[in-house]
Chains A and B, each alone.
Chain A
Amino acid sequence: MSIIVNNIQKGFNGTEILKGISFEFEPGKTNLIIGQSGSGKSVLTKCIVGLYEVDKGEVIYGGENFSAMNKAERKHIRTQIGMLFQGSALFDSYSVEQNVMFPLIMFSDMSKEEMIDRVNFCLKRVQLENKNHLFPSEISGGMQKRVAIARAIALNPKYLFCDEPNSGLDPKTSIVIDNLIHDLTKEYNMTTVVITHDMNSVMEIGENIMYIHKGENWWTGDKHSIVTTENKEIGDFVYASEFMKQLRGKLS
Protein backbone atom coordinates (compact mmCIF):
# COMPACT_ATOMS: atom_id res chain seq x y z
CA MET A 1 0.00 0.00 0.00
CA SER A 2 1.34 3.38 -0.95
CA ILE A 3 1.96 6.47 1.14
CA ILE A 4 0.88 9.72 -0.46
CA VAL A 5 1.90 13.12 0.85
CA ASN A 6 -0.10 16.06 -0.44
CA ASN A 7 1.16 19.63 -0.18
CA ILE A 8 2.89 19.14 3.18
CA GLN A 9 3.86 22.39 4.89
CA LYS A 10 5.67 22.63 8.18
CA GLY A 11 7.46 25.44 9.98
CA PHE A 12 9.03 26.15 13.34
CA ASN A 13 9.02 29.56 15.05
CA GLY A 14 7.97 31.32 11.88
CA THR A 15 10.57 29.61 9.68
CA GLU A 16 9.04 27.54 6.92
CA ILE A 17 10.91 24.22 6.62
CA LEU A 18 8.66 22.25 4.25
CA LYS A 19 7.07 24.30 1.49
CA GLY A 20 4.26 22.19 0.07
CA ILE A 21 5.81 18.82 -0.69
CA SER A 22 3.80 16.25 -2.63
CA PHE A 23 4.98 12.76 -3.51
CA GLU A 24 3.83 9.15 -3.74
CA PHE A 25 5.90 6.47 -2.02
CA GLU A 26 5.27 3.30 -3.99
CA PRO A 27 4.67 -0.12 -2.41
CA GLY A 28 7.25 -2.87 -2.93
CA LYS A 29 9.93 -0.30 -3.70
CA THR A 30 12.73 1.38 -1.77
CA ASN A 31 11.67 5.02 -1.93
CA LEU A 32 14.47 7.43 -1.17
CA ILE A 33 14.29 10.94 0.22
CA ILE A 34 17.60 12.59 -0.52
CA GLY A 35 18.98 16.08 -0.16
CA GLN A 36 21.62 18.13 1.53
CA SER A 37 21.81 18.54 5.29
CA GLY A 38 19.16 20.97 6.48
CA SER A 39 16.99 20.49 3.41
CA GLY A 40 14.06 19.16 5.45
CA LYS A 41 14.37 15.38 4.95
CA SER A 42 14.09 14.44 8.61
CA VAL A 43 11.29 16.95 9.26
CA LEU A 44 9.35 15.50 6.33
CA THR A 45 9.85 11.97 7.66
CA LYS A 46 8.75 12.98 11.14
CA CYS A 47 5.65 14.58 9.62
CA ILE A 48 4.89 11.40 7.69
CA VAL A 49 5.17 9.12 10.74
CA GLY A 50 3.25 11.58 12.91
CA LEU A 51 6.03 12.69 15.26
CA TYR A 52 5.34 16.23 14.01
CA GLU A 53 1.91 17.53 13.13
CA VAL A 54 1.78 19.12 9.68
CA ASP A 55 0.77 22.78 9.41
CA LYS A 56 -0.98 22.14 6.12
CA GLY A 57 -1.45 19.20 3.74
CA GLU A 58 -2.16 15.54 4.35
CA VAL A 59 -0.46 12.18 4.69
CA ILE A 60 -2.41 9.23 3.31
CA TYR A 61 -1.54 5.64 4.24
CA GLY A 62 -3.18 3.12 1.92
CA GLY A 63 -6.12 5.45 1.27
CA GLU A 64 -6.58 6.50 4.93
CA ASN A 65 -5.97 10.13 5.81
CA PHE A 66 -3.45 9.84 8.67
CA SER A 67 -3.27 13.61 9.23
CA ALA A 68 -6.99 13.85 9.95
CA MET A 69 -6.94 11.07 12.57
CA ASN A 70 -6.65 11.59 16.30
CA LYS A 71 -4.07 9.76 18.41
CA ALA A 72 -6.33 6.78 19.14
CA GLU A 73 -7.35 6.41 15.49
CA ARG A 74 -3.72 6.51 14.38
CA LYS A 75 -2.81 3.52 16.51
CA HIS A 76 -3.82 0.89 13.97
CA ILE A 77 -1.69 2.63 11.31
CA ARG A 78 1.23 2.95 13.72
CA THR A 79 1.29 -0.79 14.39
CA GLN A 80 1.83 -1.23 10.64
CA ILE A 81 4.88 1.04 10.69
CA GLY A 82 8.41 -0.10 11.43
CA MET A 83 11.12 2.48 11.80
CA LEU A 84 14.89 2.35 11.87
CA PHE A 85 16.28 5.47 13.52
CA GLN A 86 19.58 7.16 12.72
CA GLY A 87 21.11 6.13 16.05
CA SER A 88 19.22 2.80 16.09
CA ALA A 89 17.20 3.93 19.17
CA LEU A 90 17.48 0.54 20.82
CA PHE A 91 16.37 0.42 24.45
CA ASP A 92 19.63 0.42 26.42
CA SER A 93 18.33 -1.55 29.36
CA TYR A 94 16.89 -4.31 27.17
CA SER A 95 18.81 -7.18 25.60
CA VAL A 96 18.75 -7.77 21.84
CA GLU A 97 15.97 -10.32 22.34
CA GLN A 98 13.92 -8.00 24.55
CA ASN A 99 14.30 -5.15 22.06
CA VAL A 100 12.97 -7.23 19.17
CA MET A 101 10.28 -8.75 21.38
CA PHE A 102 9.05 -5.35 22.63
CA PRO A 103 6.54 -4.59 19.83
CA LEU A 104 5.29 -8.18 20.00
CA ILE A 105 4.66 -7.87 23.75
CA MET A 106 2.89 -4.54 23.30
CA PHE A 107 0.78 -5.25 20.22
CA SER A 108 0.37 -8.98 19.68
CA ASP A 109 -1.46 -11.75 21.47
CA MET A 110 1.32 -14.26 20.88
CA SER A 111 2.36 -16.71 23.58
CA LYS A 112 5.88 -16.42 25.02
CA GLU A 113 7.06 -19.36 22.86
CA GLU A 114 5.59 -17.84 19.71
CA MET A 115 7.25 -14.53 20.49
CA ILE A 116 10.63 -16.19 21.01
CA ASP A 117 10.21 -18.03 17.70
CA ARG A 118 9.37 -14.77 15.94
CA VAL A 119 12.32 -12.98 17.55
CA ASN A 120 14.68 -15.77 16.49
CA PHE A 121 13.26 -15.66 12.96
CA CYS A 122 13.77 -11.88 12.72
CA LEU A 123 17.28 -12.07 14.15
CA LYS A 124 18.15 -14.88 11.73
CA ARG A 125 16.81 -12.77 8.89
CA VAL A 126 19.26 -10.00 9.76
CA GLN A 127 22.09 -12.52 10.31
CA LEU A 128 22.23 -12.08 14.06
CA GLU A 129 21.58 -15.59 15.34
CA ASN A 130 22.66 -16.35 18.92
CA LYS A 131 23.06 -12.69 19.88
CA ASN A 132 19.78 -12.73 21.84
CA HIS A 133 21.23 -12.08 25.26
CA LEU A 134 23.71 -9.35 24.37
CA PHE A 135 22.93 -5.73 25.22
CA PRO A 136 23.10 -2.84 22.70
CA SER A 137 26.28 -1.57 24.37
CA GLU A 138 27.94 -4.94 23.72
CA ILE A 139 27.45 -5.00 19.94
CA SER A 140 28.83 -2.94 17.07
CA GLY A 141 27.03 -0.05 15.33
CA GLY A 142 26.26 -2.22 12.31
CA MET A 143 24.82 -4.94 14.53
CA GLN A 144 22.73 -2.34 16.37
CA LYS A 145 21.25 -1.23 13.03
CA ARG A 146 20.42 -4.84 12.22
CA VAL A 147 18.76 -5.35 15.61
CA ALA A 148 16.76 -2.17 14.98
CA ILE A 149 15.71 -3.57 11.58
CA ALA A 150 14.73 -6.86 13.24
CA ARG A 151 12.64 -4.89 15.75
CA ALA A 152 11.09 -2.84 12.94
CA ILE A 153 9.96 -5.95 11.02
CA ALA A 154 8.86 -7.96 14.07
CA LEU A 155 5.18 -7.11 13.55
CA ASN A 156 5.28 -7.66 9.77
CA PRO A 157 4.83 -3.96 8.99
CA LYS A 158 3.42 -2.63 5.74
CA TYR A 159 5.56 0.47 5.92
CA LEU A 160 9.25 0.70 6.80
CA PHE A 161 11.04 3.99 7.48
CA CYS A 162 14.81 4.18 7.70
CA ASP A 163 16.36 7.47 8.82
CA GLU A 164 19.94 7.59 7.52
CA PRO A 165 20.52 3.86 8.00
CA ASN A 166 24.19 4.15 7.05
CA SER A 167 25.26 6.98 9.31
CA GLY A 168 28.33 6.01 11.28
CA LEU A 169 28.92 2.81 9.34
CA ASP A 170 31.83 1.81 7.12
CA PRO A 171 31.13 1.49 3.36
CA LYS A 172 31.05 -2.32 3.39
CA THR A 173 28.63 -2.53 6.33
CA SER A 174 26.55 0.24 4.74
CA ILE A 175 26.05 -1.87 1.63
CA VAL A 176 25.06 -4.86 3.78
CA ILE A 177 22.43 -2.71 5.53
CA ASP A 178 21.22 -1.21 2.22
CA ASN A 179 20.83 -4.63 0.64
CA LEU A 180 19.08 -5.96 3.72
CA ILE A 181 16.55 -3.11 3.56
CA HIS A 182 16.08 -3.65 -0.19
CA ASP A 183 15.65 -7.43 0.16
CA LEU A 184 13.18 -7.10 3.04
CA THR A 185 11.18 -4.59 1.00
CA LYS A 186 10.80 -7.10 -1.81
CA GLU A 187 10.24 -10.04 0.52
CA TYR A 188 7.37 -8.43 2.46
CA ASN A 189 6.19 -6.09 -0.31
CA MET A 190 6.58 -3.15 2.07
CA THR A 191 6.49 0.53 1.24
CA THR A 192 9.97 1.47 2.34
CA VAL A 193 11.12 5.05 2.79
CA VAL A 194 14.83 5.65 3.26
CA ILE A 195 16.21 9.05 4.18
CA THR A 196 19.80 9.42 3.11
CA HIS A 197 22.46 11.69 1.68
CA ASP A 198 24.76 8.79 0.91
CA MET A 199 25.26 8.44 -2.87
CA ASN A 200 26.34 4.81 -2.46
CA SER A 201 22.88 4.06 -1.05
CA VAL A 202 21.23 6.01 -3.84
CA MET A 203 23.06 3.99 -6.49
CA GLU A 204 22.53 0.71 -4.64
CA ILE A 205 18.82 0.78 -3.78
CA GLY A 206 17.25 3.97 -5.23
CA GLU A 207 14.12 2.86 -7.09
CA ASN A 208 11.92 5.87 -6.50
CA ILE A 209 13.81 8.98 -5.46
CA MET A 210 12.68 12.40 -4.28
CA TYR A 211 15.32 15.11 -4.02
CA ILE A 212 14.44 17.83 -1.52
CA HIS A 213 16.02 21.25 -1.85
CA LYS A 214 15.25 23.99 0.70
CA GLY A 215 12.01 22.31 1.74
CA GLU A 216 10.71 21.74 -1.78
CA ASN A 217 10.38 18.63 -3.93
CA TRP A 218 13.06 19.60 -6.44
CA TRP A 219 13.33 16.44 -8.48
CA THR A 220 11.96 12.89 -8.71
CA GLY A 221 13.32 9.89 -10.55
CA ASP A 222 15.34 6.72 -10.01
CA LYS A 223 18.99 5.75 -9.63
CA HIS A 224 19.52 5.63 -13.39
CA SER A 225 18.02 9.00 -14.19
CA ILE A 226 19.74 10.78 -11.30
CA VAL A 227 23.20 10.42 -12.89
CA THR A 228 22.09 11.86 -16.18
CA THR A 229 19.88 14.71 -15.04
CA GLU A 230 20.85 18.21 -16.12
CA ASN A 231 19.47 19.75 -12.91
CA LYS A 232 22.30 21.78 -11.38
CA GLU A 233 21.45 21.16 -7.70
CA ILE A 234 21.18 17.42 -8.31
CA GLY A 235 24.44 17.48 -10.25
CA ASP A 236 26.19 19.27 -7.38
CA PHE A 237 24.79 16.70 -4.96
CA VAL A 238 25.60 13.58 -6.98
CA TYR A 239 28.99 14.75 -8.18
CA ALA A 240 30.07 16.47 -4.99
CA SER A 241 33.43 14.73 -4.62
CA GLU A 242 36.44 15.23 -6.91
CA PHE A 243 36.40 11.52 -7.73
CA MET A 244 32.77 11.67 -8.91
CA LYS A 245 33.51 14.81 -10.95
CA GLN A 246 36.34 13.02 -12.73
CA LEU A 247 34.08 10.00 -13.26
CA ARG A 248 31.43 12.26 -14.75
CA GLY A 249 34.03 13.74 -17.11
CA LYS A 250 35.06 10.28 -18.28
CA LEU A 251 31.42 9.16 -18.69
CA SER A 252 30.54 12.19 -20.75
Chain B
Amino acid sequence: MIAAAFKKPEKWRVLGKNFIHEVHSIGISSLSIVALLSLFMGAVMVIQTASNIDSVLIPAYTVGFATRQSMILEFSSTMICLILAGKVGSNIASEIGTMRLTEQIDALEVMGVNSINHLVLPKILASLFIFPFIVLISMGLGLIGGGLIGTQAGIITLEKYIMGLQYYFDPFSITYSLFKTLFFAFFIATIPSYFGYYVNPSGGALEVGRSGTKSVVASSMVILLINLIITYFLLL
Protein backbone atom coordinates (compact mmCIF):
# COMPACT_ATOMS: atom_id res chain seq x y z
CA MET B 1 0.00 0.00 0.00
CA ILE B 2 2.84 2.38 0.88
CA ALA B 3 4.48 1.78 -2.53
CA ALA B 4 1.20 2.55 -4.32
CA ALA B 5 0.66 5.65 -2.18
CA PHE B 6 4.02 7.12 -3.14
CA LYS B 7 3.68 6.61 -6.90
CA LYS B 8 3.70 9.73 -9.07
CA PRO B 9 0.28 11.40 -8.75
CA GLU B 10 -1.98 11.70 -11.80
CA LYS B 11 -2.16 15.47 -11.44
CA TRP B 12 0.03 17.48 -9.05
CA ARG B 13 -2.64 20.20 -8.89
CA VAL B 14 -5.18 17.68 -7.58
CA LEU B 15 -2.68 16.43 -5.00
CA GLY B 16 -2.07 20.03 -3.87
CA LYS B 17 -5.79 20.67 -3.52
CA ASN B 18 -6.33 17.43 -1.60
CA PHE B 19 -3.30 18.21 0.58
CA ILE B 20 -4.77 21.57 1.63
CA HIS B 21 -8.12 19.91 2.31
CA GLU B 22 -6.44 17.27 4.50
CA VAL B 23 -4.34 19.84 6.37
CA HIS B 24 -7.63 21.45 7.36
CA SER B 25 -9.42 18.17 8.03
CA ILE B 26 -6.62 16.50 10.00
CA GLY B 27 -4.83 19.46 11.53
CA ILE B 28 -6.76 22.71 11.74
CA SER B 29 -9.97 21.02 12.88
CA SER B 30 -8.04 19.32 15.71
CA LEU B 31 -6.59 22.56 17.08
CA SER B 32 -9.40 23.31 19.52
CA ILE B 33 -9.22 19.91 21.24
CA VAL B 34 -5.40 20.05 21.27
CA ALA B 35 -5.48 23.54 22.80
CA LEU B 36 -7.94 22.53 25.50
CA LEU B 37 -6.06 19.34 26.36
CA SER B 38 -2.70 21.08 26.44
CA LEU B 39 -3.89 23.87 28.75
CA PHE B 40 -5.33 21.32 31.15
CA MET B 41 -2.34 18.97 30.96
CA GLY B 42 0.05 21.83 31.78
CA ALA B 43 -2.19 22.95 34.65
CA VAL B 44 -2.42 19.44 36.11
CA MET B 45 1.34 18.98 35.77
CA VAL B 46 1.96 22.11 37.86
CA ILE B 47 -0.50 21.04 40.57
CA GLN B 48 0.85 17.48 40.74
CA THR B 49 4.51 18.52 40.76
CA ALA B 50 3.88 21.12 43.44
CA SER B 51 1.86 18.70 45.58
CA ASN B 52 4.66 16.11 45.42
CA ILE B 53 7.41 18.48 46.41
CA ASP B 54 7.43 18.76 50.18
CA SER B 55 11.13 19.27 50.81
CA VAL B 56 12.46 22.75 51.44
CA LEU B 57 15.68 21.63 49.77
CA ILE B 58 13.96 21.48 46.38
CA PRO B 59 13.71 24.96 44.88
CA ALA B 60 10.26 26.31 43.88
CA TYR B 61 11.24 26.76 40.26
CA THR B 62 11.42 22.94 39.98
CA VAL B 63 7.67 23.08 39.30
CA GLY B 64 8.29 25.06 36.10
CA PHE B 65 11.25 22.86 35.19
CA ALA B 66 9.33 19.60 35.63
CA THR B 67 6.32 20.94 33.73
CA ARG B 68 8.51 22.04 30.83
CA GLN B 69 10.35 18.74 30.64
CA SER B 70 7.15 16.67 30.82
CA MET B 71 5.27 18.75 28.28
CA ILE B 72 8.09 19.02 25.74
CA LEU B 73 9.50 15.52 26.06
CA GLU B 74 6.35 13.48 26.39
CA PHE B 75 2.92 15.01 26.78
CA SER B 76 2.85 17.38 23.80
CA SER B 77 4.13 14.77 21.40
CA THR B 78 3.18 11.29 22.60
CA MET B 79 0.01 12.12 24.54
CA ILE B 80 -1.36 14.51 21.92
CA CYS B 81 -0.54 12.06 19.13
CA LEU B 82 -2.28 9.25 21.02
CA ILE B 83 -5.36 11.42 21.28
CA LEU B 84 -5.11 12.39 17.61
CA ALA B 85 -4.72 8.71 16.72
CA GLY B 86 -8.21 8.31 18.16
CA LYS B 87 -9.76 11.41 16.65
CA VAL B 88 -8.03 11.55 13.27
CA GLY B 89 -7.46 7.78 12.95
CA SER B 90 -11.08 6.76 13.40
CA ASN B 91 -12.09 9.54 11.02
CA ILE B 92 -9.69 8.36 8.30
CA ALA B 93 -10.63 4.69 8.70
CA SER B 94 -14.36 5.36 8.57
CA GLU B 95 -14.06 7.81 5.67
CA ILE B 96 -12.05 5.43 3.47
CA GLY B 97 -14.03 2.41 4.71
CA THR B 98 -17.30 4.08 3.73
CA MET B 99 -15.85 4.93 0.34
CA ARG B 100 -15.04 1.23 -0.09
CA LEU B 101 -18.53 0.25 1.05
CA THR B 102 -20.29 2.66 -1.31
CA GLU B 103 -18.10 1.64 -4.27
CA GLN B 104 -16.47 5.08 -4.52
CA ILE B 105 -13.04 3.41 -4.48
CA ASP B 106 -14.18 1.04 -7.26
CA ALA B 107 -15.36 4.09 -9.20
CA LEU B 108 -11.89 5.64 -8.91
CA GLU B 109 -10.22 2.40 -10.00
CA VAL B 110 -12.52 1.93 -13.01
CA MET B 111 -11.72 5.49 -14.10
CA GLY B 112 -8.03 4.59 -14.01
CA VAL B 113 -7.19 6.61 -10.89
CA ASN B 114 -4.66 5.10 -8.46
CA SER B 115 -7.10 5.19 -5.55
CA ILE B 116 -4.47 4.60 -2.85
CA ASN B 117 -2.34 7.41 -4.16
CA HIS B 118 -5.36 9.70 -4.56
CA LEU B 119 -6.79 9.02 -1.10
CA VAL B 120 -3.85 8.16 1.14
CA LEU B 121 -0.88 10.27 -0.06
CA PRO B 122 -2.52 13.65 0.76
CA LYS B 123 -3.31 12.37 4.27
CA ILE B 124 0.29 11.24 4.84
CA LEU B 125 1.77 14.50 3.55
CA ALA B 126 -0.72 16.63 5.45
CA SER B 127 -0.03 14.74 8.70
CA LEU B 128 3.73 15.02 8.28
CA PHE B 129 3.33 18.73 7.61
CA ILE B 130 0.82 19.78 10.26
CA PHE B 131 1.57 17.52 13.24
CA PRO B 132 4.87 19.21 14.19
CA PHE B 133 3.05 22.58 14.29
CA ILE B 134 0.28 21.06 16.43
CA VAL B 135 2.87 19.66 18.83
CA LEU B 136 4.66 23.03 19.04
CA ILE B 137 1.35 24.75 19.77
CA SER B 138 0.60 22.13 22.41
CA MET B 139 3.98 22.74 24.08
CA GLY B 140 3.35 26.48 24.23
CA LEU B 141 -0.21 26.15 25.50
CA GLY B 142 0.74 23.51 28.05
CA LEU B 143 3.34 25.79 29.56
CA ILE B 144 0.88 28.71 29.53
CA GLY B 145 -1.77 26.52 31.22
CA GLY B 146 0.74 25.54 33.89
CA GLY B 147 1.73 29.16 34.43
CA LEU B 148 -1.89 30.29 34.69
CA ILE B 149 -2.89 27.72 37.31
CA GLY B 150 0.42 28.09 39.16
CA THR B 151 0.13 31.85 39.56
CA GLN B 152 -3.64 32.09 39.98
CA ALA B 153 -3.77 29.33 42.61
CA GLY B 154 -0.76 30.77 44.44
CA ILE B 155 1.35 27.64 43.83
CA ILE B 156 4.31 29.53 42.36
CA THR B 157 5.21 33.07 41.39
CA LEU B 158 5.44 33.93 37.71
CA GLU B 159 9.14 34.78 38.04
CA LYS B 160 9.97 31.39 39.63
CA TYR B 161 7.85 29.55 37.07
CA ILE B 162 9.63 31.27 34.16
CA MET B 163 12.97 30.63 35.85
CA GLY B 164 12.04 26.93 35.98
CA LEU B 165 11.05 26.95 32.31
CA GLN B 166 14.42 28.43 31.35
CA TYR B 167 16.49 26.33 33.77
CA TYR B 168 19.01 24.07 32.02
CA PHE B 169 17.05 24.20 28.80
CA ASP B 170 18.37 21.97 26.03
CA PRO B 171 16.87 22.79 22.61
CA PHE B 172 17.53 19.18 21.58
CA SER B 173 14.49 18.14 23.64
CA ILE B 174 12.28 19.99 21.12
CA THR B 175 14.14 18.40 18.19
CA TYR B 176 13.68 14.98 19.79
CA SER B 177 9.99 15.61 20.33
CA LEU B 178 9.41 16.84 16.77
CA PHE B 179 11.46 13.97 15.35
CA LYS B 180 9.27 11.34 16.97
CA THR B 181 6.16 13.34 16.03
CA LEU B 182 7.04 12.79 12.37
CA PHE B 183 6.97 9.02 12.92
CA PHE B 184 3.71 9.25 14.85
CA ALA B 185 2.18 11.39 12.09
CA PHE B 186 3.15 8.86 9.44
CA PHE B 187 1.56 5.97 11.30
CA ILE B 188 -1.54 7.95 12.32
CA ALA B 189 -2.18 8.54 8.61
CA THR B 190 -1.20 5.15 7.20
CA ILE B 191 -2.56 2.61 9.70
CA PRO B 192 -6.19 3.86 9.62
CA SER B 193 -5.93 4.27 5.84
CA TYR B 194 -4.93 0.61 5.59
CA PHE B 195 -7.79 -0.60 7.80
CA GLY B 196 -10.28 1.60 5.95
CA TYR B 197 -9.07 0.69 2.46
CA TYR B 198 -9.09 -3.05 3.05
CA VAL B 199 -12.38 -3.19 4.96
CA ASN B 200 -14.58 -6.11 3.94
CA PRO B 201 -17.47 -4.40 2.10
CA SER B 202 -19.83 -7.31 2.68
CA GLY B 203 -19.60 -6.59 6.43
CA GLY B 204 -21.45 -3.30 5.97
CA ALA B 205 -21.49 -0.46 8.50
CA LEU B 206 -20.53 -2.87 11.28
CA GLU B 207 -17.27 -3.70 9.54
CA VAL B 208 -16.49 -0.01 8.96
CA GLY B 209 -16.98 0.59 12.69
CA ARG B 210 -14.70 -2.34 13.50
CA SER B 211 -12.03 -1.05 11.13
CA GLY B 212 -12.12 2.29 12.97
CA THR B 213 -11.65 0.59 16.34
CA LYS B 214 -8.89 -1.70 15.04
CA SER B 215 -7.06 1.22 13.48
CA VAL B 216 -7.12 3.26 16.72
CA VAL B 217 -5.85 0.31 18.77
CA ALA B 218 -3.13 -0.54 16.23
CA SER B 219 -1.93 3.06 15.81
CA SER B 220 -1.87 3.60 19.59
CA MET B 221 0.25 0.47 20.05
CA VAL B 222 2.62 1.52 17.26
CA ILE B 223 2.95 5.03 18.73
CA LEU B 224 3.89 3.61 22.13
CA LEU B 225 6.40 1.21 20.58
CA ILE B 226 7.98 3.86 18.33
CA ASN B 227 8.13 6.21 21.33
CA LEU B 228 10.05 3.63 23.32
CA ILE B 229 12.48 2.85 20.50
CA ILE B 230 13.22 6.50 19.62
CA THR B 231 13.55 7.49 23.26
CA TYR B 232 15.93 4.62 23.90
CA PHE B 233 18.21 5.53 21.01
CA LEU B 234 18.08 9.33 21.31
CA LEU B 235 18.01 9.96 25.03
CA LEU B 236 19.99 7.13 26.57
Contact = CB atoms under 8 A, between A and B. Distances in A.
A149 to B, nearest CB: 13
Interface stretch (B105-113, B126-134, B153-161): B105-113
| Main SS at interface, chain A | mixed
Interface string A62-91: 000000000000110011010101110111
Contacts of B152: none
A103 B10 CA distance: 11
A87 B113 CA distance: 19
Nearest to A161: B110
Nearest to B10: A106
Interface in A103-118: 103, 105-107
Given A105-B11, A105-B14, A106-B14, A89 B111 contact: no
Given A86-B103, A89-B104, A81 B110 contact: yes
Contacts of B166: none
A49 B103 CA distance: 14
B112 A79 contact: yes
A251 interface: no
A161 B109 CA distance: 14
A75 B14 contact: no
B102 interface: yes
Name the 10 nearest CB pairs between A and B, nearest first.
A78-B112, A89-B107, A89-B103, A85-B103, A83-B110, A75-B112, A89-B104, A49-B110, A79-B112, A106-B10
23 contacts: A46-B106, A49-B110, A50-B110, A75-B112, A79-B112, A83-B110, A83-B111, A85-B107, A86-B103, A90-B104, A91-B104, A91-B107, A92-B98, A92-B102, A92-B104, A102-B111, A103-B111, A105-B13, A105-B14, A106-B10, A106-B14, A106-B111, A107-B111
